[in-house]
Amino acid sequence: MMMTTVKLLCLCLCATVLVWADEPSSETTITASPGDVVRLPCYGDGQVTPSLTTWWKEGRRLSLGETQTDAGDPPSSPTHAGPRLGLLEDGSLDFRWVREGDEGDYLCSAQLPGNVTWRARVLLLVASAPANVSISIVPTTLLSNGTLVTYRGSTVSFHCVASSYPSQHLTWTFRGAGAGNGSLASTAEAPWLDFRLKDIQADAQGVYSCTANNTVTHQAANKSAQLLVYYVPDRHPECTWVQSQDRTRVLFNCSWPGAYPPPTLRWAEDQGEQGAGRVFASEVTDSLTVALNRSLLSGGQTVRCTAQHLALARARERSCSFLLEPPYPEGEPLVSAQEGSNITLACTESTSTPPAATTWRRGLEHAEVVVGAKYFLSEDGPACRLTIANVSKDDEGVYFCRSENPLGVSELEVYLTVRASSSAYTGAIVGVFIAALIVGWAVVVAKVVYANRHRVCLGGAFGRPHDDDDDRGDVLSLVESDDEQIFQAPVPRLPPLTDTGHTTLVQIHHIPSCEQEDTGMTAPEEEETREELPDLVTF
């Protein structure tokens, strides 16, 4: 009954009443917040009015009903004027509003009828609920929905401040997706609480709350923030292509898994110094595929996939790219084969980006060769080989190594000549033999004549009489004027001439022998011959 009254009158939060036989007659604890209206009861049974009531605070008597020096404005009603403390008729001590500092041990003594003295003790606690809880988590980025973002590897500081009277406990707690939930830090009694997380990882993502707990009232207040930990993989995106059935199109795929949240991937062409040119596609995803056709692609163009993410510094975009190259098949343009043998036509396609499809065709109508007993295709890295089995005269003609990529088509023309099996072979041998004979003959003549030219010329000039003078003059003048042009090339192809050869020739042409002088002349000529060797073209 007593307790209910106290609660009702005083807006108190907690009260206990103990009535002892001994003094004081009652003991009450009242908790109030600053600004509250509080009445401290003395006798207060509501029926008997004490004739005199006196109040003490911490042993000091309070002077009530006299000049109220204690007046002031409560924070909530600035217009209020008048005494803050008063004595009610039933002897209760009336606080128009309580403020910090009013807490303490209050004693009252009331004179009741029948010369009874009633003594009561009231413990007044002034406590303000935790207020102004404020948190800051730095360094972070604030999203529009109030969520905070930090980046993996950062050191993050958590700061919490709150005000409570007379004191508070502060606690930081964490609630995440995985394990490791719970208290992170707490204080006994302090106005603020800080802690730091170093090298923050993805599992630190969650809700961080700071709770302030009033040590007197045990009232609590908290503030929370959601913290996201963004991260990107260390590697660059991976660019790949998928050849579509239609050779004029290509699917470029860009993949960059392992980023949180998903990045923005963009396929665009590079345009020199200006940066990105045409943008083919851009999407928030960790894998972006774009189909490009011949009308959008050209040789020398760089097609790049760029990944953008908040966790990447502005200057540190990650990307991968392709430098597109049209196909360019290479190989021997002229091939000859012997009838009945197998021949392989080779073609190498090593520049095309994206890779080309290489096929073989034949004839002016570009008929695709059909693999079977006759034709056999083999691919070895960039090389594509066509083997023709049991070559016949019908196989002679033009073949095309056709290389196609999404940029275009390019063909290598290969001409196959088919030699008749035995006759051609014999013919060739005979031909070579005859050619060698002719050349050998010519060279020997030239060499001998050249070696003897001075002697012969001198003989002519001094008019030495000789029976074959006219003949020799004719032969020599011809050779003299033309020997450089006619014989220079063939000379080195033959083995060095022997002295016997000279003798024989001299005899044939009736030139007087002059071996002694020859030796002197031959040496420089042979040197000349050797120097010319590298320029020779074999056939």
Ligand X SMILES: *[C@@H]1O[C@H](CO)[C@@H](O)[C@H](O)[C@H]1NC(C)=O
SS (H, E, C) 367-415: EECCECCCEEEEEECCEEEEEECCCCHHHCEEEEEEEEECCEEEEEEEE
| Location of structure tokens 């001198």 | 458
Q: Which stretch binds ligand X (CB under 6 A): 33-41, 143-151, 164-172, 481-489?
A: 143-151
Q: Which two tokens stand for residue 459?
A: 């003989």
Measured CA to CA, the distance from residue 107 to residue 117 in angstroms comes to: 13
Question: Strands 206-214 and 52-57: what pairing?
Answer: unpaired
Instruction: State the minimum distance, in angstroms, from the CB of residue 332 to ligand X.
Output: 24
Task: Tell whether residue 392 is a contact of ligand X (CB under 6 A).
Answer: yes
Which residue lies nearer to ligand X by CB, 4 or 145? 145
In one-letter notation, the amino acid at residue 495 is P
Among positions 155-214, residues that touch ligand X (CB under 6 A) are none
Measured CA to CA, the distance from residue 440 to residue 436 in angstroms comes to: 6
Q: Which two tokens stand for residue 104?
A: 């303490």
Ramachandran sector of residue 390 (left: φ over 0; alpha: ψ -120 to 50; beta: rest): left
Instruction: State the minimum distance, in angstroms, from the CB of residue 361 to ligand X.
Output: 22
Which residue lies nearer to ligand X by CB, 149 or 439? 149
Give the phi and the psi of residue 308 in degrees, each rounded to 5. Answer: -120, 140
Instruction: State the minimum distance, in angstroms, from the CB of residue 59 to ligand X.
Output: 55
In one-letter notation, the amino acid at residue 52 is L
Instruction: State the minimum distance, in angstroms, from the CB of residue 4 to ligand X.
Output: 44
Measured CA to CA, the distance from residue 168 to residue 215 in angstroms comes to: 5
Which residue lies nearer to ligand X by CB, 10 or 290? 290
Task: Tell whether residue 378 is a contact of ligand X (CB under 6 A).
Answer: no
Instruction: State the minimum distance, in angstroms, from the CB of residue 389 to ligand X.
Output: 7
Instruction: State the minimum distance, in angstroms, from the CB of residue 342 to ligand X.
Output: 10
Q: Which two tokens stand for residue 112?
A: 């009741």
Task: Show the binding pattern over residues 214-233: x = contacts ligand X (CB under 6 A), - = does not.
Answer: ------------x-x-----
Closest to 450 measured CA to CA, from 360, 347, 524: 524
In one-letter notation, the amino acid at residue 465 is P
Instruction: State the minimum distance, in angstroms, from the CB of residue 339 to ligand X.
Output: 8
| Exposed e or buried b per residue across 160-179, where buried means at least 16 C-beta atoms within 10 angstroms of its C-beta | bbbbbbeebbbbbbbebeee
Measured CA to CA, the distance from residue 5 to residue 126 in angstroms comes to: 20
Which residue lies nearer to ligand X by CB, 137 or 505? 137
Q: Which two tokens stand for residue 306?
A: 């760029």
Task: Tell whether residue 338 is a contact of ligand X (CB under 6 A).
Answer: no
Task: Tell whether residue 145 is a contact of ligand X (CB under 6 A).
Answer: yes
Task: Tell whether residue 293 is a contact of ligand X (CB under 6 A).
Answer: yes
Q: Return the residue of 295, 485, 516, 538 that touches ligand X, per CB under 6 A.
A: 295
Q: Return the residue of 77, 117, 342, 390 that touches ligand X, per CB under 6 A.
A: 390
Instruction: State the minimum distance, in angstroms, from the CB of residue 153 to ligand X.
Output: 20
Task: Tell whether residue 432 is a contact of ligand X (CB under 6 A).
Answer: no
* Secondary structure of residue 98 in the 3-state scheme: coil
Which residue lies nearer to ligand X by CB, 55 or 267? 267
Task: Tell whether residue 529 is a contact of ligand X (CB under 6 A).
Answer: no
Which residue lies nearer to ligand X by CB, 183 or 390? 390
Which residue lies nearer to ligand X by CB, 373 or 537? 373
Ramachandran sector of residue 115 (left: φ over 0; alpha: ψ -120 to 50; beta: rest): left
Residues binding ligand X (CB under 6 A): 143, 145, 147, 226, 228, 293, 295-296, 390, 392
